[in-house]
Amino acid sequence: MENFKFYAPTKVYFGKDEDKRVGKILKEFHPKKVLIHYGGQSAIKSGLLDRVKKALDEENIAYCLCGGVVANPLLSKVNEGIRICKEEGVDFILAVGGGSVLDSSKGIAYGVYNEGNVWDYYARKKKVKGALPMGCILTLAATGSEMSNSSVITNEDGNLKRGLSSEYGY
């Protein structure tokens, strides 16, 4: 057996209607603008996305959207999120969904904070030096991504799937 240290500094807010408090919770991070990153239609059809937007509006927190994350999240979506964040001045990422949305959000957080092509970090050509702060409203707890410092992204060019673990990925 190998010795190891496990560190998971994740704050968990659990319970009925906690999603409606997301604006109040995010206030402690003093965000200027939040990227709401989500998957397919379930966040929309369930009304969750509208509740999240309403909670941010109530606290006068500006936001922009980047939806359409698929299972085995794609580098192209991560790059789209990075572009939106840079253009919009985003300083906080809020993932709304399951493990793929969280993995994609972590990729965006790395890509905005660090220089160059985000894939270089997944390909281990460069070392992550930080990440934008992020939070999540988890819709599927089975993946464990909310308690993990890892993310997995698929690069469509060559269908390469790579993982990245970083102390900044919580």
Give the model's pLDDT for residue 2. 87
Reported pTM: 0.93
Q: Which residue matches tokens 């190998």?
A: 2
Which numeric CATH code is attached to 19-164? 3.40.50.1970
Give the model's pLDDT for residue 166. 92
Instruction: Sketch the domain layout of the chain as residue ranges.
Output: 19-164
State how far the Cα of 37 lies from the Cα of 87, in Å rounded to an integer. Answer: 15
pLDDT tens digits for range 89-108: 999 999 999 999 999 999 99
State how far the Cα of 22 lies from the Cα of 150, in Å rounded to an integer. Answer: 24
The tokens for 1 are 């057996």
State how far the Cα of 154 lies from the Cα of 60, in Å rounded to an integer. Answer: 35
Give the model's pLDDT for residue 44. 93
